[in-house]
Every structure is written in C-alpha cells, then in structure tokens.
Amino acid sequence: MTTAATEAHPVPTADWVTIPDLYRNPYPIYQKLRAESPVHWVPAVNRYMVTSYQACHVIEQDQERFSADETNSLMKRAMGHSMLRKDDPEHDVDRKSYGNVLRPKAIKEHWNAIFQANSDKYLAQLKAAGSGADFVWDYAAPYAAENLRLIMGFHNASQEDMQRWSQTMIDGTGNYADDPEVWAKSEQSYNEVDDAIDEILPYLRKNPDSSLLSGMTSMPIPLEAIRANMKMTIGGGLNEPRDVLGTTVWALLDNPDQLAQVLADEALYARAFEESVRWVAPIGMYPREVTGDTVLEGVQLPAGARLGIVVGAANRDPAVFEDPESFNINREKKPHLAFGGGNHFCAGAWVARASVAQIAMPQVFRELPNLRLDPDNAPVDAGWVFRGMTKMPVLWG
C-alpha cells in the first residue's frame, strides 16, 4: 500500500533491542515491536525491521519498490551474488538453471528413495548412540546434510563438510555484529566450496547424474553464478530441513495430545510440518532494499533503506493467526511466510516437506517407541536470523 508522504508516520526507533536478546528468544521482542508499528529502525542490526504479516507480504509481492539486490549485503560477502540477492529477470535466469531437480515429480521418482536410505542410516546411528543421544546432531543434521550432498552432486565431499560449510557461511550471512572470527571461518568455507565445484564439474560432464551440479554443466550460466547459487543452497538447503525436523519433533513431544493425534493419523505429519515452520521459521529474517522514497503500511521509508523482513515475527502476527505463540496443528489453516513468497518462494520447499514430513518424522516415531525429551538435560532453541534447536537430548524405549 502506497500513500502520500504527508499521511505517513515516521519510523520509530527501537534502540532497546540487542542482538544477544534476539538470539536467545526474539518472540517477546517481536510482540512489542509489532504492537507499536509494522516497521522500526533498529540500531543494533543497522536496518529497519519489518514485523507485521501484511507489511512482509506486501514487500514480497513488489520487487519494484523492494529490491532483493541489497547494497553491502552480508549474504553477498558470505556466499557470493546468488539468486536470492537478485531481482527479475536476472533472478529468473538463475532460478531456471535448477531445472526440475527439486520439483515434486523428481522427488517422488528419484529422491524419496535416497531420503529413505539416508534416514535408515542415521536413525541406526542415533539408536547406537543410546542414552544421551542428541536428536539434532546425531540424526537430523547428518540426515539433512547427506540428502543435500547427493542432491547437489558433491561426490567429492562428505556430509560433515556440508555441515561445516553451511554453518560457517550462514554465520557470515547473519554476522550483524561484524565479528572478524566469523568472517574468517566463512571465507575459508567459501573458498573450499569453490574448489570442490571446480573439481567436480569436469567429472559430472563425463558422468552425468540427477544432481543440481550435473544439470548446470549444460546450462548457459556463468561459473560465478553457479558458485554463488550452490553456496546459497548449501546454507538454506541444509539448515531448513534440519531445523524444521528438530523443532517439529520437539513441539510434538512437548504437546502429547497433538502427538497422539499424529500417531493415530500419519496424514497429520504434513500439518505438523506446516504449523512448525509457521511457529518457528527456520529462516527467520532476510533483507530487502527500498528503491525509492515510499510508504509501507503507513510508515515512511527513504530510498536506500535496508530492511529486515522478519517472517519469524510475521508468522506470529495476531492479526492473522489466533493464539499465534502456541504450536497448534488444529488451528485454522492460513498461509504462512516461512518459505517466502512471490518470485523468491523457496525452491527447496518440496524437498523439505518430503524429506521431513513424509520420510523422517513417521519413521522416527515408528522406530523410537516412547520417544521423549530427557528430563535431566533440557533442550535449547536459539537464533533469530536462523532459528532451530541447538541441543536436543532424547530418550526412548
């Protein structure tokens, strides 16, 4: 919605917001921000934070006013200039280079069997770990990493490499504190991924398969674009399924009445997945830049304003969702913004839904009877740019 500047309100400043508080638990902060204004200037993160559902939705549908190609982007520094930091038509060219690898048909015909084999492998490892096993680090993380390694075609890397690359580059993308140690680790992974891509592309030209990198060997797309898009995929393509898997299992274990419903009807795993990504968006914030003086939901924004689109806040907006702070698989179904929207809708959404809701969760609850949180070792969730379980000890049997 655009109105005359004379009708707009100035942007309020939230100088009380700190990065450590956001990392620990951003949701009380979001509640306070959202109640006052859909947009705030937040000095701690050096950008305007957009927290209402309607404002975030408007931005996603209007790349003319709100560009993904942000100046001095942390993601560009951490991963290169990927499609996520481009507008159409440049974004569309990169997006089409992914072909049908991540589409539902390919997932059903090819990748689901691979997801199942990987789930078998890492669930066996979780069982072998026994008492004291951590659901995220003994199962969800290696499972998501191995799935992604094969989808991407990194036959010259391990799932451990994928985890390290993903985490260090994601840390760079969210390095709003400008920590030099974070940048050093991110840069090391940046260079390692480039080297791995340069090494594997000639092999895939001679030995084509169903992977993303294999498909790109015949695409008219510059090497630098391939490198940047692969780094972006290593980030979101690993942490998103890992974190939604951990968060959903945690939420169900913490709500035994809803878990009982799901166990009685496996079709409800899909509903639990969608409610989980609404409740805790794995990618909680991403940037946009204002292309000219404009008004967003009654707030005046100047040209060049750097925005943080806080979908983690938008997905808990009480103007859209009843009792939004609660996990509830029985709530009225309304569209969440966890996978973005418009031309930047997450290309990996179908992979996450298949690998987590169709494969992993049903198997986890079938093969780990009486799965429960360890009462003597509490789980920990953390993050705001990216949020998920950082510790999740479990017991079963």
Q: Give the mean model confidence (pLDDT) for residues 168-188.
A: 92
- Residues 80-110 have pLDDT tens digits of 999 889 998 888 888 888 889 889 999 999 9
Domain boundaries, the chain: 5-395
Contacts of residues 83-92 at CB distance under 8 Å and 24 or more positions apart, as own/partner, are 83/225, 83/228, 83/229, 83/232, 84/232, 84/286, 84/344, 87/63, 88/63, 88/343, 91/343, 91/344, 92/343
**Beta carbons within 8 Å of 5's beta carbon, 6+ residues apart:** 293, 295, 300
Given a contact cutoff of 8 angstroms between Cβ atoms, the answer to whether 282 and 247 are in contact is yes
Query: Which pTM was predicted?
Result: 0.94
**Beta carbons within 8 Å of 317's beta carbon, 6+ residues apart:** 34, 51, 52, 53, 54, 324
Top-level class of domain 5-395:
mainly alpha
- Residues 279-338 have pLDDT tens digits of 999 999 999 999 999 999 999 999 999 999 999 999 999 999 999 999 999 999 899 999
Q: The tokens 């951003």 sit on which residue?
A: 26
Given a contact cutoff of 8 angstroms between Cβ atoms, the answer to whether 195 and 166 are in contact is no
User: Tell me, what's the pLDDT at 220?
Assistant: 82
